[in-house]
Amino acid sequence: MAEYDARIGKELNILAYRNKTFPMNIIATVTSTGDVFDLTDYSFKMQLKKTFDDSPVVSMDISVTIGTGLIDISKAFGKMDIPAGEYRYDLQTTYPDSTIQAWLWGIMTITDKVT
């Protein structure tokens, strides 16, 4: 699992397989103390786009476990049936006060699996 300081956005490039379940678990922690970040009343969304101006190709499923800092990002088998290639993504966070910030962003490369 990746640990992530929720106070600062980060670029993270990701590799995923076409037509395979995509799992990604993040534990949000506070860097200065190592404590888990309180995710109460936060919401998240993550979309893949070919370019920033395009419509989303895929919207990820996201669940949060309050008290553990766990953000589970996934897409079920068969829902990742998109052409192999590079896509832009961001993990957009809405704070309890309605502030919106990208916590993660980068390129997700979708590749065909050999086996």
Q: In this structure, what token pair is assigned to residue 32?
A: 């200065």
Q: pLDDT tier at 3 (50, 70, 90 boundaries)?
A: low
Structural domains counted in the chain: 1
Q: What is the extent of the structural domain holding 98? A: 2-111
Q: Indicate the SS3 state at residue 2.
A: strand
Choose among 86, 82, 63: nearest CA to 74: 63
How much is the pTM?
0.82
Q: In this structure, what token pair is assigned to residue 1?
A: 């699992």
Q: pLDDT tier at 68 (50, 70, 90 boundaries)?
A: confident
Report the CATH number at residue 107. 2.60.40.10
- The model's pLDDT over 69-106, given as tens digits with 9 standing for 90+, comes to 899 999 998 888 899 999 999 999 999 999 899 989 99
Q: pLDDT tier at 12 (50, 70, 90 boundaries)?
A: very high
